[in-house]
Amino acid sequence: MTRGRGIGALRRGAARLTGRAISLFARLVTAVQAVWQGLDPDADPAGRRPRVYFANHASHGDFILVSSALPPRLRDRTRPVAGADYWGGGGLRGFIGGDVFNALLIDRQRSDPGSDPVALMAGALDQGASLILFPEGTRNLTDEALLPFRSGLYHLAAARPEVDLVPVWIENLNRVLPKGSFIPVPLMCRTIFGAPLHLAQGEAKDAFLARAQGALLALRPNPENGR
Amino acid sequence: MIAPHSDLLAVIAGIGAVLLLASAIGWVLQRRLSPNGENAAIENLNARIRAWWIMVIAMSLAFLGGRTGVLLLFAFCSFAALREFMTLTNATRADHWTLVGAFFVVLPVQYYLIWIGWYGLFSIFIPVWVFLLLPIVSAMRGETRNYLVRVAEMQWALMICVFCASHVPALLNLNIPGFEGRNVLLIAFLVVVVQLSDVLQYVWGKLIGRHRIAPKLSPSKTVEGFVGGSLSATLIAAGLWWMTPFSPLEAGLMGLVITMMGFFGGLVMSAIKRDRGVKDWGHSIAGHGGFIDRLDSVVFSAPIFFHLTRYFWSMG
């Protein structure tokens, strides 16, 4: 009993240290700067109102960067939504996804029809957590700025219409760690937080998803060269 | 480690006194003119002074840490500057391995060459070896779009942020008869004169500046600021002759050269910023911008100062 508790405490301590180390490393490589456009970071300093941060997804480091850019109090309540196929299971990835970042793991293949990702996310919001969500569903390895959004963001917005949906543009991380490379190169990155949106009364799925994509794309500083 | 020279302690104490005075002036200005933070210029001034404290403390610790401390500090500055510069280049993912090489091979090797004191390779490693080898790495990927622009920009970034910046700690390797064990004072002289010149140009410009000197490149630089700042920095350099191997006249001339190179270095780096549509190189140093915003003038003056000193004073 005590031994189990001791190991649990050890694991939690290791997770906390690892989290600090990962965040420090991310800052050393990217000097990440949070830019707030249309959202006051101090409006809800304790993070009492759950939010959904939805961002572009080009690299495995994306949620680390968004999380590192948040003020510490908000960061502690924010859980990335991640694919169980990659971040689940045991080993190092499981430790980083589960213990360090407390990721909400969802089954992207829907192999078990009983597990409903939207219900899982809504449940986490109900418990007071904020979420980091990548509505493209998978890493964007193309030259397009964004892949078409999957419908998850719409269903979540319909299930919890009062929750703020905050667009977050992650700038440059795809250059730091491009497709197929495993050594990051140090380049400055920014995470740009935009004004929150909500599902309008009677808004159709496609219209809402197009609006959400537009809001995210509008945060790009230099659309013409991808920077 | 050898005990720090008393001249070094005097310099650090002197800088501390100047900063105390600056902080006091900043405090009075804020109380009088901007009690609730309404005057942006005064708020920026105070942010700059606070950042100066951190920079001076970091420099002093490095100086007291001797050779290792100075090398580590400037290697880190090179790293931070290169990170800012490469961000603004056209380097694409075809250049990923070139960038990996620049950050994790070229930069450490350049500083290692200073550490072991191999002057011959230090002075040609980036201009010759890297100049020829890095474009090969990029070419192997077969991406020809913007190729010349990409490799030229990356070479430029390495020349400015690593090669030129590394001439500051390389001053430790000069062998000047009668000046043994005091080389760190050459670095202090260079950095103090360059930075004071920047500050004095800013102050003179704010006080009596009327005529813009290069409105397209740097709207805040004025003829009055340039002349007043360089002359006063040159006079201060002459007054600091006791910490150098130079006579007062020589120290003043060195100060003038450093100041000129620093001023035009600032203009060159401004031209790059305007071209890329950014106001600052980064955001790491509150009130100042990025590392390059603070280092631009040092980077341009360091190699010239190094070679003048080496040619006329050093035994090789």
Give the pLDDT confidence of A171-219 residue by residue, as tens digits: 988 899 887 788 999 999 999 999 999 999 989 999 999 999 999 999 9
CA distance A225 to chain B (A): 9
The SS3 call for residue A33 is: strand
The terminus-to-terminus CA distance of chain A in angstroms comes to: 54
DSSP letter at A144 equals S
What are A33-78's pLDDT values in tens digits? 999 998 887 777 666 789 999 999 988 889 899 999 988 888 888 9
Q: Can you tell me the distance from the alpha carbon of A179 to that of A93, in angstroms, rounded to the nearest whole number?
A: 19
Partners of B222 in beta bridges: B212
DSSP letter at B171 equals G
Interface test with A, best of B99, B146, B162 (most A CBs within 10 A): B99
Within 13 Å and on the Cβ side, how many CA atoms surround B274?
12
What are B248-283's pLDDT values in tens digits? 999 999 999 999 999 999 999 999 999 998 888 988
Cβ pair B96:A178 closer than 8 A: yes
How many other CB atoms sit within 10 Å of the CB of residue B279? 8
Q: What is the pLDDT of residue A78?
A: 92
Q: Can you tell me the distance from the alpha carbon of A147 to that of A155, in angstroms, rounded to the nearest whole number?
A: 18
Cβ pair B99:A185 closer than 8 A: yes
Cβ-based neighbours of B277, under 8 Å, separated by 6 or more: A222
CB B134 within 8 A of CB B102: yes
CB B204 within 8 A of CB B225: yes
Which residue from B minimizes the CA distance to A185?
A: B100
A-B Cβ pairs (cutoff 8 Å, strict)? 38
pLDDT above 90 covers what percent of chain B?
77
Question: Does position A223 have pLDDT exceeding 70, yes or no?
Answer: no
- Which one, of B168, B169, B193, lies nearest residue B15 by Cα? B193
A-chain residues within 8 Å CB-CB of B80?
31
- Between strands A33-36 and A104-106, the pairing is unpaired
Cβ pair A188:B87 closer than 8 A: yes
Q: What is the pLDDT of residue A3?
A: 66
CA distances from A224 to A144, A216, A217, A221, B9 (A): 12, 15, 12, 9, 52
CB A153 within 8 A of CB A165: yes
Q: Can you tell me the distance from the alpha carbon of B307 to that of B227, in angstroms, rounded to the nearest whole number?
A: 25
Cβ-based neighbours of A165, under 8 Å, separated by 6 or more: A51, A52, A54, A153, A157, A196, A197, A198, A212
Tokens 């508790």 correspond to A5
Q: What mean pLDDT do residues B276-293 have?
A: 88
CA A116 to chain centre: 19
Q: What is the pLDDT of residue A110?
A: 67
B-chain residues within 8 Å CB-CB of A187?
83, 86-87, 99
**Mean pLDDT over the full length of chain B:** 93
CA distances from B50 to A4, A37, B40 (A): 49, 27, 15
Helix axes B223-239, B184-208, angle to 10 degrees: 150
CA B274 to chain centre: 20
Partners of A54 in beta bridges: A133, A167
**Residue A114 dihedral angles phi and psi, to the nearest 5°:** -75, -25
Tokens 């190189």 correspond to B281
Cβ-based neighbours of A225, under 8 Å, separated by 6 or more: B90
Q: Can you tell me the distance from the alpha carbon of B315 to that of B173, in angstroms, rounded to the nearest whole number?
A: 11
**Mean pLDDT over the full length of chain A:** 87
A-chain residues within 8 Å CB-CB of B82?
186
DSSP result, B115-164: HTT-HHHHTTIIIIIIHHHHHHHHHTTT--TTHHHHHHHHHHHHIIIIII
Cβ pair B83:A187 closer than 8 A: yes
What SS3 string covers A63-105? HHHHHHHCCHHHHHCEEEEEEHHHHCCCHHHHHHHHHHCCCEE
ipTM of the complex: 0.87
Which residue from A minimizes the CA distance to B98?
A: A185
What are B107-159's pLDDT values in tens digits? 999 999 999 999 999 999 999 999 999 999 999 998 999 999 999 999 999 99
CA distance A178 to chain B (A): 6
Q: What mean pLDDT do residues A111-132 have?
A: 87
Q: Can you tell me the distance from the alpha carbon of B289 to that of B20, in angstroms, rounded to the nearest whole number?
A: 22
What are A146-170's pLDDT values in tens digits? 999 999 999 999 999 999 999 999 9
Cβ pair A178:B87 closer than 8 A: no
CB A208 within 8 A of CB A154: yes
Cβ pair B82:A33 closer than 8 A: no
- Which one, of A126, A1, A139, lies nearest residue A52 by Cα? A126
R_g of chain A computed on alpha carbons: 17
Element (H, E) at B109: helix B107-115
CA distance A218 to chain B (A): 18
What are B162-214's pLDDT values in tens digits? 999 999 999 999 999 999 889 999 999 999 999 999 999 998 998 898 899 88
CA A185 to chain centre: 22
Interface test with B, best of A185, A192, A222 (most B CBs within 10 A): A185
B-chain residues within 8 Å CB-CB of A172?
87
Tell me the pLDDT band of B3, cut-offs 50, 70 and 90. Answer: low
Cβ pair A175:B103 closer than 8 A: no
Q: Which of B90, B96, B282 sits opposite A31 (nearest CB)?
A: B282
Cβ pair B87:A187 closer than 8 A: yes
Query: Any CB–CB contact under 8 A between A221 and chain B?
Result: no
Domains defined along chain A, listed by start = 2-225 (3.40.1130.10)
CA distance B83 to chain A (A): 5
Within 13 Å and on the Cβ side, how many CA atoms surround A67?
27
Query: Any CB–CB contact under 8 A between A140 and chain B?
Result: no
Whole-prediction pTM: 0.90
